[in-house]
Amino acid sequence: MRGTALSDITGADRGFNVGADVLTHTADGVPLATVYAEIQASLEEWNRDRGLISRLFTFDTTDPFAQLAKDPKPGEDFEEESEFGQPKAARIEADWLRMGYPLNWYDSATRFTRRFLRDVTADQLATIHADRLEADTRLTFRKTLSALTDKTVAGSRKTNKEGYEVFDLWDGSAGETPKAWGGKTFTGTHNHYLVSGAALVDSTDLEQLILTIQEHGYGLPESNERIVLMMRKETAIPDAIRGFRRGVANNNGAVAKFDFIASDATPAYLTAESIIGSVPPGTWNGLPIFGSYGDAYLFESYWIPEGYVIALATSGAGSARNPLAFRQHANKSLHGLLLTSDDTAANYPLQNKFYTRGFGVGVRNRSAAAVMQIKASGTYDNPTWP
């Protein structure tokens, strides 16, 4: 437009990396290659916890649903034999339930002008790639944990594209009752989304979370499973837990049934006390552990929402008894994070790369996890995940 000054348009404003974006040094003379290397190292460390969590509490599947017996009634008891008679035939009376697993596709793109690609360094491209890997890790972490912690009662649940309902943990919905285990029966109001009833965490809260899982037969030492309690790092919750001592009152007047035991990764310290039993490991299945309480290992991370304690039972990554199913496409070539390219001349002068992932996470074992919100009163609120 004649006589009109056009404001500068930068590539970043429109999602493009252009020639003007290429730099060699920072204003204070530090090579950008050094800066990029440091950023990638911090991203790798930053992502480690989230990737481990996503794997440790799921198992892989390509099925759109799991079919389970709904509240099966016990069959006939054994009879004493007679010399000529035949025993009665036994059968189980049960309704069948299909628990759906979602499958959705997510994508992201990088776009470069040819001028940018002429001048860019390999380190700069690697940094852009690392940013997309971090975004993928963030996506899978958020979808995995929100599938577990989001309470969706009957009537408000989503269905997958095949039309099957996607479930949460036990939430007290009418007509949904956990099956009996070890002689213990449950009611239709049974709930794994708990509220502590006090503003500060106490030992009773941890004991309730552990019992809520173990009373269904999950997370027991004899089943070779372990309960992990997850909480936000550097908050009042893990700070309070570190002070729990057996037989000593803690927050809200609760008296602890167990001692907090620091893991073997804890810096050395002096104590007059002796430990009966084994010290928890500093790392378990790749997950950093800061201690134990009762039968549970303790994990803290900045990626856990503040004000929540999440309890999960697992025997390791990929176990079919883990609480969550991680669904991918039936075609194995479409598993994982995929990178595709559009090389057609019609896209000149842009060079496009597309990152694509198809997956979904749904609850499979509703009894194998529980979540507690630490607050004085009210109903459970679904947490917000980063």
In angstroms, the CA 169 to CA 185 distance is 17
Mean pLDDT on 229-247: 96
CB 281 within 8 A of CB 271: no
- For the segment 298-328, what is each residue's pLDDT rounded down to a tens digit? 999 998 999 999 999 998 888 999 999 999 9
- For the segment 267-295, what is each residue's pLDDT rounded down to a tens digit? 666 566 666 668 889 999 889 999 999 99
Mean pLDDT of the chain: 84
**Quick one: pLDDT at residue 337?**
84
Backbone Cα Rg of the chain: 26
In angstroms, the CA 63 to CA 82 distance is 47
Lowest average pLDDT, out of 121-130, 174-183, 231-240, 241-250, goes to 121-130
Q: Which helix (H) or strand (E) holds 302?
A: none
**Quick one: pLDDT at residue 8?**
45
Residue identified by tokens 């290659």 is 33
Query: pTM higher than 0.85 for the full model?
Result: no
**Quick one: pLDDT at residue 347?**
47
CA 183, 210, 223 angle in degrees (round to 5)? Answer: 60
End-to-end CA distance of the chain: 45
How many angstroms separate the Cα of 346 from the Cα of each of 117, 229, 339?
A: 18, 53, 20
Token pair for residue 28? 């204070």
> Which residues are bridge partners to 195 per DSSP?
373
Measuring CA to CA, which residue among 208, 109, 99 is closest to residue 159?
A: 99
Residue identified by tokens 């799921």 is 58
